[in-house]
Amino acid sequence: MGTANDSSKDISDRLAEKHPKVVFVLGGPGSGKGTQCEKIVQHFGYTHLSAGDLLRAEKNSGSENGIMIQNMMNEGKIVPSEVTIKLLQKAMLDSGNDKFLIDGFPRNEENRAAFEALTKIEPEFVLYFNCPEKEMERRILNRNQGREDDNIETIRKRFKVFLESSLPVIEYYKGKGKVREIDAAKPVEEVFKEVKDIFNPKVPKVPKDENVEGRCMCCAIL
Ligand SMILES: Nc1ncnc2c1ncn2[C@@H]1O[C@H](COP(=O)(O)OP(=O)(O)O)[C@@H](O)[C@H]1O
Ligand SMILES: Nc1ccn([C@@H]2O[C@H](COP(=O)(O)OP(=O)(O)O)[C@@H](O)[C@H]2O)c(=O)n1
Ligand SMILES: [Mg+2]
């Protein structure tokens, strides 16, 4: 009979066969991760997986972890990786796609190391939305999504967790040259301009039939 470990290995193996392409989308609470992910999906064909949304859905499904997830979220704490990674892996397999924006994950060193060990997936790059705390606070208090954790007391706890636990993950990926940092304090469309340049890098065009002396480029070089 299979054990829990067998089944988590099974799901990891099935996922590895798809050779998924993953971009981690990080930034403080309210920095605009979800907003920009929606736009990336429309333009670049990724599937958006928000760790927070998956955890909220799991909580609402009445699962055995529901109360634990609710308590952790209301305290702004990070849910144990095992739970979140299982949800992410299932969503990746169910999607039928092979390109994913993983939003709000990894949020601490435990998330990062457990995901790497279990899935062996290395992100293509990490999109980091850098935004001042005052602006993030203003946005969350105006978000109106009915989230229980969008109150000033929990927001302050989430900012603390971001500084203490999530920024070190961003630093880790900076050390690997993988972080693409974006000024997220600008208006949505201006932020997206920067995002587009990252997903769609401009390749400088080689001039075709033109140079100063009227010869083609290859002749000019020769
Ligand atoms: N660049 C922006 N300028 C102003 N408001 C924004 C911007 N990006 C997102 N918002 C708004 O701020 C709130 C938080 O954005 P959201 O995408 O949910 O952030 P996150 O997923 O990082 O918490 C939402 O109400 C959203 O409409
Ligand atoms: N990797 C993650 C992501 C979110 N969460 C929990 O979910 C909450 C909300 O995450 P979210 O990504 O939806 O929040 P925002 O950054 O979008 O405001 C976090 O404060 C954590 O309590 C988690 O435990 N682990
Ligand atoms: Mg979000």
Write out pLDDT tens, residues 157-202.
999 999 999 999 999 999 999 999 999 999 999 999 999 999 998 7
Average pLDDT over residues 132-154: 97
Position 208 scores a pLDDT of 60
The span from the CA of 215 to the CA of 208, in Å, is 10
Question: pLDDT tier at 21 (50, 70, 90 boundaries)?
Answer: very high
Write down the pTM of the prediction: 0.91
Element (H, E) at 130: strand 125-130
Token readout for 194 is: 């920067």
Band (pLDDT 50/70/90 cuts) for residue 5 is low
The 10s digit of each residue's pLDDT in 29-66 is: 999 999 999 999 999 999 999 999 999 999 999 999 99
User: Measured between alpha carbons, how far is 92 from 102 in angstroms, rounded to an integer?
Assistant: 10
Could you list the residues known to form a binding site, using ranges.
30-35, 56, 77-79, 104-107, 111, 143, 147, 158, 186
Residue 52 Cα to ligand 2 midpoint, Å, equals 4
The CATH architecture annotation of domain 4-221 reads: 3-Layer(aba) Sandwich (3.40)
The number of CA neighbours under 13 Å toward the Cβ of 33 is 24
